[in-house]
Copies of this chain bind each other. A is one copy, B any other.
């Protein structure tokens, strides 16, 4: 696809994402809008199939390939990110420029808890970059354990 770098979102909202799409010369279709709404409403990362199932417009389910391509696009635009939950397929969530989420996953029931507060890693990210000579350092942090209900 080969998208140019762009100024990142400053806020996470339907309007802001639509504006970003427009500014890149990309189309805002009903299907895309619905997928974005699905992602904005989600309280945990969703698989492509879940996104597809929740993005029905006027009784019409979007094609799986379309969902796949839209998510690839959003990932490239750094509006969404892929999350690994030790499952057999990829999960996606929107990337909030003002907030960072880590995940707490129950190894028994698979329930995913978003950990909104106090990421223990963010502060050391730059230090790690410096130490190893890396730039543009991001991270992905998942905790696994048994949740209260599964004990």
Name A's B-contacting residues (CB within 8 A): 82, 84, 86, 104, 106-107, 113, 115, 120-121, 124-125, 128-129, 132-148, 151
Contact = CB atoms under 8 A, between A and B. Distances in A.
Given A133-B148, A148-B133, A128 B104 contact: yes
Given A82-B86, A86-B82, A120-B124, A137 B144 contact: yes
Contacts of A134: 104, 106, 143, 145-148
Nearest to A85: B84
Contacts of A120: 120-121, 124
A121 B151 CA distance: 24
A145 B143 CA distance: 21
Nearest to A107: B136
B135 A113 contact: no
